[in-house]
Structure 1
């Protein structure tokens, strides 16, 4: 058996899953990713492929229920909608060469619709940079500190980070969240300029910059998978 092997369980619907061995695992365990719906079955040492598939068959209905709860990936195209600053806005094909925010919709060039996802990603990154630079500067000024370089990435494991040199990194997908959520993440990372840890002293700094930080933290825990469901690359 090849570890990392992809297998298909028959049924309605069929289930794609990945078999993964772990020397530390003591039993079979299943995980359905909240980000992309990937199903991973971890095997303990000495378990066979046959045993793994038998276990998966026993848990097939449980797997299907969890997959059904996952929103699934979406490639944003005209006729669909995308989240922008917390609002679900329709994507509308229109004349012109640039993506534009017009009233309560996002207009994209009607020409070459297959390029729409890439165009939307560039649009989102542009606005994410504007909002995150402004928020970072504002929070840093309140602490009387200076931050370093700001970079944007498409990260899944974290929404932001602060280096020992004071450089800030953010996920540009934060522009799809409500403004208060983006502002909280900026406050969180800027607070690390004063406290490079997550000690009680650090959370005092966060509360100083964003007093009601529990609400946006809960929002991110609940809605992270919705921000990551959009697929902008082939």
Structure 2
């Protein structure tokens, strides 16, 4: 993939991606990280593709402007933990702890310490949910991996390995539970057939509202930056 820039103030980086499957030039603005991808069929001149992007400059900038602002996690910031908004405070002691409507983080490196705590909490909640759904489905998985994925909230490999975004711990518990049920259902059906959705329905219950929540609110969970 080649990177170009859309002229203007400020310039907008464009990732040009050649695709043998594409039938026309297309643009995509990621709601997660703001990356602008210009997909171009093989054989279409690069200049033609860039002219297309320039003709869509107003559309691109409008979508970028609509993205949630990034939040650097530090004392005084409010962020969701299991769907509840908590105020981050610096404190004493050895570990991160909840105190009413606050999450208290000892030490100077608030962001990294809080992120590590959130990842462990996510592992605990996702493991419990995956275990419960796997028992109900009478299937087993091989392992659980947590990542900071941007393209998907979870996945299931053909060997039964489950992978999840640790940022699900920021969402309400029922959303995390839905994603766990969705990926466990793939242990029985490695597709999105009616049979697969029947498994999801049996494990989780009605799921349209959870799917809608992720579409509408999921990108905002990536706005939080846990820097040192």
Q: Return the TM-score normalized by structure 2.
A: 0.85
Which of these residues, 112, 135, 139, is aligned with residue 141 of structure 1? 135
Q: Distance in 2 between matches of 1:28 and 1:165?
A: 36
Structure 1 pair 53–78 and aligned structure 2 pair: CA distance change class (3 A): farther
Question: In the alignment, what sits opposite 2:171?
Answer: 177
Does the residue aligned with 2:225 lie in a helix, a strand or coil?
coil
Question: In the alignment, what sits opposite 1:120?
Answer: 114
Asked if 1:102 is matched to 2:99, the reply is yes
Residue 230 of structure 1, CA deviation: 1.8
Equivalences for 1:52-63 in 2 at 5 Å?
A: 52=50, 56=54, 58-63=55-60
Asked if 1:207 is matched to 2:198, the reply is no
Structure 1 pair 59–96 and aligned structure 2 pair: CA distance change class (3 A): same
Higher strand share: 2
Question: In the alignment, what sits opposite 1:216?
Answer: 210
Question: In the alignment, what sits opposite 1:187?
Answer: 181
Does the residue aligned with 2:224 lie in a helix, a strand or coil?
coil
Does the residue aligned with 1:36 lie in a helix, a strand or coil?
coil
Question: In the alignment, what sits opposite 2:70?
Answer: 73
Structure 1 pair 201–19 and aligned structure 2 pair: CA distance change class (3 A): closer
Question: In the alignment, what sits opposite 2:35?
Answer: 38
Q: Deviations over 1:134-191 (max 9, x none)?
A: 1111112222333322221111122112223322221111111110011011111111
Contact preservation (8 Å) 1:162, 1:168: yes
Question: In the alignment, what sits opposite 1:151?
Answer: 145
Does the residue aligned with 1:158 lie in a helix, a strand or coil?
coil
Asked if 1:227 is matched to 2:221, the reply is yes
Contact preservation (8 Å) 2:34, 2:67: yes
Aligned pairs, number = 225
Q: Distance in 1 between matches of 2:178 and 2:15?
A: 38
* Unpaired stretches in structure 1, ≥5 consecutive residues: none
* Unpaired stretches in structure 2, ≥5 consecutive residues: none
Does the residue aligned with 1:195 lie in a helix, a strand or coil?
coil
Q: Return the TM-score normalized by structure 1.
A: 0.83
Asked if 1:86 is matched to 2:83, the reply is yes
Q: Deviations over 1:19-60 (max 9, x none)?
A: 5263667766443221112334556732439x937952x544
